[in-house]
């Protein structure tokens, strides 16, 4: 009669430590999770479906992420990391257009970026712990954006008749609105129209010119 040790040893072998670059494998699994969420919705993004999309076993997924919540949390963090990296483009020079250009590159280079963020924000409404993560990372993003805008105001390249934090909220609201509607009306958000929207946003936050013929104060 077997004591089960052989079966246990077999399980250990099957679930042994994966070989290769850990960071690269995590990134591959996050990409697979994003693809499933974008195409099939958050509710259908089980670890099994992510494993299938990545071409690996569910056990390989659970080696890096204990459960779906841990996987989704890592995905959200990676998305906000991308936002913060985007802001670095304009931090040194207070060039808000450069920030927008990086944003365009981000979302046009990855057509799943906006649908995934939409799904994650919708999920956060029903998960307090996940909502707290979104709130914390959004606050960091808005503050960094506010700092860039405030610097631009000091340099005279951003309108200063509206506080920088309000401008940051307005820009965030516009971006969130585009993200919300993208899954429903993707035809409205062609690369050309997105660029036009960005140009309009830059115009809205540019210094206000005095009316023609008016005398300077």
Tell me whether residue 120 is in a domain.
Answer: yes
Which ranges of the chain have pLDDT less than 70? 1-20, 210-217
* CA pair distance 195, 190, nearest whole angstrom: 9
Instruction: Return the C-alpha torsion angle 201, 168, 104, 132, nearest 10.
Output: -150
pTM recorded for the entire structure: 0.78
What pLDDT score was predicted for residue 36?
Answer: 96
82 and 54: one domain?
A: no
Residues 96, 26 share a domain: no
Q: Indicate whether 192 belongs to any domain.
A: yes
Integer Cα distance of 51 and 71 in angstroms: 12
Look at the block and give the residue holding tokens 């309000």. Answer: 166
Count the Cβ atoms, other than its own, within 10 Å of residue 23. Answer: 8
pLDDT of 213 reads 57
Structural domain contains residue 141:
yes
Cβ 54 vs Cβ 61: under 8 Å: yes
- 187 and 122: one domain? yes
Per-residue model confidence (pLDDT) at position 94: 78
Domain count, the chain: 2
Residue 78 · residue 30 · CB < 8 Å? yes
* Closest CA relative to residue 26, chosen from 67, 76, 71: 71
Name the domain boundary from 66, 99, 127.
66
Q: Is residue 148 part of a domain?
A: yes
- Residue 5 within any structural domain of the chain: no
Q: Structural domain of residue 62, as residue ranges?
A: 21-66
- Say whether both 49 and 145 belong to one domain: no
Does 101 lie in the same domain as 34?
Answer: no
**CATH number of the domain that 137 lies in?**
1.10.357.10
Range list of H helices, the chain: 5-14, 22-40, 47-54, 58-64, 68-91, 96-109, 113-124, 128-155, 164-181, 191-205
Distance (Å, whole) CA 70 – CA 184:
28
DSSP letters spanning 45-107:
--HHHHHHHHTS-HHHHHHH-SSHHHHHHHHHHHHHHHHHHHHHHHHTTT-HHHHHHHHHHHH
Are 34 and 62 members of one domain? Answer: yes
End-to-end Cα distance, the chain: 98
Predicted local confidence at residue 8, as pLDDT: 41
Q: How big is the CA angle at 215 (ends 214 and 217), to the nearest 5 degrees?
A: 125
Determine the pLDDT at residue 17: 56
- pLDDT for the residue 214: 54
42 within a domain of the structure (yes/no): yes
């Amino acid at each position: 009669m077997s004591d089960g040790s052989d079966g246990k040893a077999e399980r250990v072998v099957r679930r042994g430590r994966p070989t290769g670059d850990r960071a690269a494998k995590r990134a591959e699994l996050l990409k697979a999770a994003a693809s499933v969420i974008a195409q099939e919705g958050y509710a259908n993004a089980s670890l099994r479906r992510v494993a299938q999309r990545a071409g690996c076993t569910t056990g390989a997924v659970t080696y890096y992420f204990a459960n779906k919540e841990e996987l989704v949390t890592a995905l959200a963090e990676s998305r906000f990391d991308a936002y913060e990296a985007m802001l670095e483009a304009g931090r040194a020079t207070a060039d808000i257009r450069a920030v927008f250009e990086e944003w365009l590159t981000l979302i046009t280079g990855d057509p799943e970026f906006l649908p995934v963020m939409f799904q994650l924000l919708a999920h956060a409404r029903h998960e307090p712990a996940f909502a707290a993560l979104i709130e914390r990372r959004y606050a960091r993003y808005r503050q960094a954006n506010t700092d860039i805008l405030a610097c631009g105001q000091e340099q005279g390249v951003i309108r200063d008749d509206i506080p920088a934090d309000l401008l940051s909220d307005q820009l965030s609201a516009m971006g969130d609105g585009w993200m919300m509607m993208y899954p429903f009306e993707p035809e409205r958000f062609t690369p050309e129209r997105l660029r036009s929207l960005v140009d309009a946003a830059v115009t809205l936050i540019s210094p206000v010119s005095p009316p023609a013929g008016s005398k300077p104060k």
